[in-house]
Amino acid sequence: MIEQTLVAIKPDGIQRALIGKIISRFEDAGLKIIGMKMQWIDEKFAEEHYSEDLIEILGQKSKKSYEEQGLKFTEDITKKGKEIRKALIKYITEGPIIAMVLEGVNTISIVRKIVGSTGPYDASPGTIRGDYAHIAISYANINKKQVRNLIHASADKKDAEREIKLWFSKKELHSYKRADEDHLT
């Protein structure tokens, strides 16, 4: 099934000059870039991207990370989720971002595999986060540090549709055929 998904290289990926390496991972996998732009987003836009719907999910992820590291989680899930969302908003507004819409067969799941686990410590070698980042969520939380994980990728079809509409107008998305497309689709 042909799908589209949003990928955003976060400020640390840009500041560390990893743009080309990251983009090539997707192109090498046969995914087509149908929209791309660099922009510096403001807090309001970041709040739309990291919607309040994520608060509980973020709190649960934090709890799970603590427990997987053998640490006791004693915080309120909702409070922790709000704290993490606030940190994510601060992080994503620290510098410019490169946003892309990728298209291809099973793009959402392929991109998630290429990107690796949200928590870099848990990301497998060979993934973007596994190769270029390593901080554990629990370590970051305990030491009040931001989990700098280089890249955002839509979690599922629903998120992809919402995020693409947020980041791109229809006029900014393009249809074309890659030279190798007959071999990939």
User: Per-residue pLDDT tens for 155-177?
Assistant: 999 999 999 999 999 999 999 99
Looking at residue 65, what is its pLDDT?
78
CATH of 2-173, one of 3.40.50.150, 3.30.1280.10, 3.30.70.141, 3.40.630.30: 3.30.70.141
Contact 137, 61 (CB under 8 A): yes
Looking at residue 133, what is its pLDDT?
85
Share of the chain above pLDDT 90, in %: 70
pLDDT tops 80 at residue 137? no
- List the chain domain ranges: 2-173
Distance CA(167)–CA(107), nearest Å, equals 18
Helix axes 19-28, 107-115, angle to 10 degrees: 140
User: Per-residue pLDDT tens for 33-50?
Assistant: 999 999 999 999 999 999
- Phi then psi for residue 100, to 5 deg, are -135, 150
User: Per-residue pLDDT tens for 67-80?
Assistant: 877 888 888 999 99
User: Per-residue pLDDT tens for 93-127?
Assistant: 999 999 999 999 999 999 999 999 887 778 899 99
Catalytic residues: 152
Contact 91, 152 (CB under 8 A): no
Looking at residue 136, what is its pLDDT?
67
Buried b (16+ CB within 10 A) or exposed e, 143-169: eeeebbbbbbbbeeeebbebbbeebbe
**Tell me, what DSSP letter sits at residue 95?**
S
pLDDT tops 80 at residue 88? yes
